[in-house]
Amino acid sequence: MKFWQRIIVNALLFMAIAGFFRNSFHVSSVWYALVASLVLAILNAAIKPVLVIFSLPITFLTLGLFSIVINAVMLELTSFFVGAQNFQIANFGMAMLAAIIMSLCNAVISGYFNAE
């Protein structure tokens, strides 16, 4: 999937998750969902590889499940950089749930776009 397609898909996923979990996940507008998606992409390119390398032993011990925690940390950092009034995740558990939902949806959508 191309870069801008992934940005738009993640923004739509942010809006959908915010709709399902109104008390725990907040996105103030579609524009801030796009900004958060762009910030997440930048953080994933810049910071996530370092975190993956440092957490390699624990990721190996947990058979890769620690990558969900890393994705949740990326979502929390996105919330910090975008601003809590525009993009807010209530707690780390909600960030982990959102990371799982986004990973599953991105896997399905990427499979669909790569199949064509």
pLDDT tens, position by position, 42-58: 999 999 999 999 999 99
Token pair for residue 112?
């669909």
* 41, 7 contact by CB (below 8 A): yes
111, pLDDT greater than 90: no
pTM of the predicted model as reported, rounded to 2 decimal places = 0.91
In terms of C-beta density within 10 A (0-12 exposed, 13-18 middle, 19 or more buried), how is residue 11 classed?
A: buried
Closest to 75 (Cα-Cα) out of 111, 107, 51 = 51
Token pair for residue 92?
């780390």
88, pLDDT greater than 90: yes
* pLDDT (tens digit per residue) in 7-41: 999 999 999 999 999 999 999 999 999 999 999 99
92, pLDDT greater than 80: yes
- Degrees to nearest 5, angle at CA 42 with 29 and 6: 65
d(CA 49, CA 96): 18
Closest to 52 (Cα-Cα) out of 40, 44, 16 = 44
Residue spans of the domains in the chain: they are 2-103
